[in-house]
């Protein structure tokens, strides 16, 4: 069978979404089902790992069944199964990995363990069945990976070849959104809540600090978070209403400026042809607008629905390993702290 027609069933359970998807040729999405636990965790203001595992157990097989049904396929029409091996919550990863192993064993299909961070980048290759594909990203490229757990600048010289240029020294960008949202009494997850609150705010109302670091490709968001906290506390000390919209807009503008300027500088310094922006924070409208507002580099940003955790991206990354001729047994374990650069 031609590579472009290989179908991969992707399975994702690294955090608080149970997801399954079927992708053809690493690009065409036939189905993409995400069972979100956000409502469950919102009451705790963040992910509650024990509850997440229990929910994955409940949701994993129905989610896979829905992915097959939505694609009008059965398991025999799939060429391989790809599953998130890490990084993520150990107890959550294990549910997806064990379900995938059981399905691979029963069906005789090859099983491909996938790095979740790599998969976020491969979301840039995806499009829905029936929709016109955009041009494929061209190498060498700079990938800005911004999620709840990671913030990293990566140089990709080719498929599956990653060189980490720098990463966050403290909080991830998404984590900063989540923590600042909590300070402002906004809902979980913080990214979409801050984006919504910022719509009515002035992004120049406050001048929040951008960390100056030894390496131009590293990030730090803890000072920014502390600056926001001080500002909020100052209003509380004077029993004044906190101007949530202005603080949210100024915070968001500071994060966007940091991510945008470092990524553009990295692309210029490393003579990249193109840029990919991926991970949950790449759903942010202001960040997307910043990259779209320049014309130095072609920038690929996944569709908003593919920025946050999903299994189509797992299938897309799995496809690359499949066509790379890699094969794996069934005796691999989860890797909760697996970095990106060793996954090639
Ligand atoms: O990639 P993801 O779904 O999960 C991880 O792999 O971590 O990213 C989740 C993160 C959360 O911190 C969430 O607040 C953030 O992405 N996020 C956003 C937006 N949507 C999700 N941050 C800013 N603006 C958004 N619109
Ligand atoms: Zn993720």
Confirm whether 341 is domain-assigned: no
User: Residues 6 or more apart from 213 whose CB is under 8 A from it?
Assistant: 169, 219, 220
User: Which atom from ligand 1 is nearest to the alpha carbon of 116?
Assistant: 6
Pocket probe mutation, ligand 1, options 86, 187, 191, max atoms within 8 Å of Cβ? 191
Name the nearest CA neighbour of 152 among 277, 303, 311, 317. 277
Residue 328 C-alpha to ligand 1 middle, in angstroms?
Answer: 31
Residue with token string 């190498």: 139
Indicate which residue's Cα is closest to atom 22 of ligand 1: 191
Residue 117 C-alpha to ligand 2 middle, in angstroms?
Answer: 7
Q: What is the pTM of this model?
A: 0.96
Any bridge partners for residue 133, and if so which? none
Residue with token string 């016109």: 132
Residue 45 C-alpha to ligand 1 middle, in angstroms?
Answer: 14
Same domain, 163 and 290: yes
- Residues flanking ligand 1, CB < 6 Å: 15, 147-149, 174-175, 177-178, 189-192, 195, 279-281, 283-284, 308-309
Same domain, 283 and 172: yes
User: Residues 6 or more apart from 37 whose CB is under 8 A from it?
Assistant: 16, 17, 18, 47, 51, 52, 55
Q: What is the DSSP letter of 6?
A: -
Distance of alpha carbon 144 from alpha carbon 142, whole angstroms = 7
Distance of alpha carbon 182 from alpha carbon 11, whole angstroms = 31
Distance of alpha carbon 178 from alpha carbon 227, whole angstroms = 15
What angle, 0 to 180 degrees and rounded to 10, lies between the N-to-C axes of helices 244-269 and 190-198? 110
- pLDDT (tens, 9 = 90+) of the chain, 344 residues, equals 678 899 999 999 999 999 999 999 999 999 999 998 888 888 888 888 889 999 999 999 999 999 999 999 999 999 999 999 999 999 999 999 999 999 999 999 999 999 999 999 999 999 999 999 999 999 999 999 999 999 999 999 999 999 999 999 999 999 999 999 999 999 999 999 999 999 999 999 999 999 999 999 999 999 999 999 999 999 988 888 999 999 999 999 999 999 999 999 999 999 999 999 999 999 999 999 999 999 999 999 999 999 999 999 999 999 999 999 999 999 999 999 999 975 43
For residue 61 the two structure tokens come to 């097989």
Distance of alpha carbon 279 from alpha carbon 115, whole angstroms = 13
Whether 129 contacts 29, CB under 8 Å: yes
Confirm whether 335 is domain-assigned: no
Question: What is the residue range of 46's domain?
Answer: 3-126+306-323
Indicate which residue's Cα is closest to atom 8 of ligand 1: 280
User: Residues 6 or more apart from 259 whose CB is under 8 A from it?
Assistant: 144, 146, 151, 173, 219, 281, 287, 290
Residue 149 C-alpha to ligand 2 middle, in angstroms?
Answer: 7
| CATH code of residue 53 | 3.30.420.40
Same domain, 80 and 222: no
Residue 303 C-alpha to ligand 2 middle, in angstroms?
Answer: 14
Q: Which ligand is nearest to the CA of 282?
A: 1
Q: In whole angstroms, how far apart are CA 288 and each of 7, 77, 195, 240, 300?
A: 30, 37, 12, 34, 10
Indicate which residue's Cα is closest to atom 16 of ligand 1: 280
Confirm whether 342 is domain-assigned: no
State the alpha helices, DSSP H only, in 156-299.
173-183, 190-198, 222-237, 244-269, 285-292
The number of folded domains in the chain is: 2
């Amino acid at each position: 069978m031609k590579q472009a027609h290989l179908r991969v069933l992707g399975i994702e359970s690294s955090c608080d979404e149970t997801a399954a998807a079927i992708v053809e040729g690493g690009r065409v999405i036939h189905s993409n089902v995400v069972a979100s636990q956000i409502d469950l965790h919102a009451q705790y203001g963040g992910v509650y790992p024990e509850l997440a595992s229990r929910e994955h157990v409940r949701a994993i097989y129905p989610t896979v069944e829905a992915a097959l049904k939505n694609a009008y396929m059965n398991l025999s029409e799939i060429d391989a199964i790809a599953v998130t091996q890490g990084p993520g919550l150990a107890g959550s990863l294990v549910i997806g990995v064990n379900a995938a192993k059981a399905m691979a064993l029963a069906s005789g299909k090859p099983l491909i363990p996938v790095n979740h961070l790599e998969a976020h980048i491969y979301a840039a290759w995806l499009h829905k069945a029936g929709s016109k594909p955009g041009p494929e990203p061209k190498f060498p490229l700079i990938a800005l990976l911004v999620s709840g757990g990671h913030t990293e600048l990566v140089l990709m010289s080719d498929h599956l070849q990653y060189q980490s240029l720098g990463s966050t020294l403290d909080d991830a960008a998404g984590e900063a959104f989540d923590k600042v949202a909590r300070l402002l009494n906004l809902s979980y997850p913080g990214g979409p809540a801050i984006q919504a609150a910022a719509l009515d705010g002035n992004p120049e109302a406050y001048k929040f600090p951008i960390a100056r670091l030894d390496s131009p490709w590293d990030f730090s968001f803890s000072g920014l978070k502390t600056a926001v906290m001080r500002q909020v506390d100052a209003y509380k000390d004077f029993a004044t209403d906190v101007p949530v919209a202005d603080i949210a807009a100024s915070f968001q503008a500071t994060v966007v400026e940091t991510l945008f300027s470092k990524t553009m500088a990295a692309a210029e310094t490393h003579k990249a042809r193109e840029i990919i922006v991926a991970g949950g924070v790449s759903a942010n409208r202001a960040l997307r607008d910043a990259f779209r507002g320049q014309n130095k580099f072609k920038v690929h940003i996944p569709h908003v629905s593919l920025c946050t955790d999903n299994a189509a991206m797992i299938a897309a990354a799995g496809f690359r390993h499949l066509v790379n001729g890699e094969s794996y047994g069934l005796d691999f374990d989860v890797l909760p702290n697996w970095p990106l650069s060793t996954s090639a």
